[in-house]
Amino acid sequence: MFEWMAWTTPVAVFFVCIALMLIGMTVWELKSPTTMRKGFLPMETTRGDRLFVGLLSAAYVNLAFVGVSGRLTEWLSLEAEPSIWFSFVASMALLAWVMRKG
């Protein structure tokens, strides 16, 4: 059924992290209801809004890395494509930054 998908370890870890974040955010919301807050985003947001924006940003970082990694191999004369773990770490850092400061 899922043979067409490229289920590598980094992809699985990325989706497990998303699932854990959604579960954690649900518990957090039940324990402590959110309030609107103004950060660097151009609107007042709740924790859920910032999670949504952060997840979209993380997905775009991963997609951009996958699209550019082949070119990076050529431009930097690398022996192999850069590890997808770099984009995973960058996307999770971006997500944490949006959640904290957004």
What is the DSSP secondary-structure string of 17-80? HHHHHHHHHHHHHHHS----B--SSSS-B-HHHHHHHHHHHHHHHHHHHHHHHHHHHHHTT-SS
pLDDT tier, 1 (very low <50, low <70, confident <90, very high otherwise): low
Q: pLDDT digits over 57-90, tens only?
A: 988 998 898 888 888 888 888 888 888 888 889 9
pLDDT exceeding 70 applies to what percent of the chain?
A: 94
pTM score: 0.76
